[in-house]
Chain A
């Protein structure tokens, strides 16, 4: 069965960077993209961007341009999301999801807390 397993909880100081991983299994990684979605405490879902599992092409949400980088390692079927220059409003649960035009399988989420 399809599974997306994310890395664990992170606590970072303002200005630092965080890199979250998402290891996929149960399907051919290169046939689908991976989307990243975050959810701040008590708030709704926010689309962050997408990366192709085939060729690494990316599309990022405009508000995150310049601070976010999404990458993949096809040898390990793993996607990564790095967010730099962290601010307190980046505190959120970060999800990866298999992207086929909709998000049919999700990771368990990674809590990233930004606090001094």
Chain B
């Protein structure tokens, strides 16, 4: 069982916006601005999409945005495209014995 809780699946139609949540505690998501998000296609390595809660690496579309409120971080994808269909994982620093933790992952389906 992952320390960070994500919905198992979300879906949306092309052009719509969706939001994926990542809920932790004050010991991880709520306590630090070190939340990152990763996109993973089947059989491929993950790809960094958002770091430090809301920052996009160079080359990542501005359709991807991140935010945080309390113990929950969120990834929003606007203007959904078929190519966005993938698994998404959040990651956070934690003051626990394991320094970094991942969420369980969310499968995004573009209808």
Do A and B come from the same complex?
A: yes
Question: Which residue from chain B places its CB closest to the CB of A45 in the assembled complex?
Answer: B102
Does B64 have its Cβ within 8 Å of any Cβ on chain A?
no
A95 CB to closest chain B CB (Å) equals 6
0/1 interface trace, chain B 84-99, chain A, CB 8 Å (1 if under): 0000010101000111
Alpha-carbon distance A62/B3, docked complex (angstroms): 13
What is the count of residue pairs linking A and B with beta-carbon distances less than 8 angstroms? 57
Binding site of B, secondary structure by majority: helix, strand, loop or mixed?
strand
Interface bracket on B: 20 to 34
- A residues sitting closer than 8 Å to B (CB atoms) are 35, 37, 44-47, 50, 59, 61-63, 95, 97, 101-104, 106-109
0/1 interface trace, chain B 63-84, chain A, CB 8 Å (1 if under): 0000000000000000000000
- B residues sitting closer than 8 Å to A (CB atoms) are 2, 34, 36, 38, 40, 45-48, 51-52, 57, 89, 91, 93, 97-105
Binding site of A, secondary structure by majority: helix, strand, loop or mixed?
strand
Q: Do residues B89 and A44 form an inter-chain contact, with CB atoms below 8 A?
A: yes
Q: Do residues B51 and A44 form an inter-chain contact, with CB atoms below 8 A?
A: no
Which of chain B's residues have a CB closer than 8 A to the CB of A109?
45
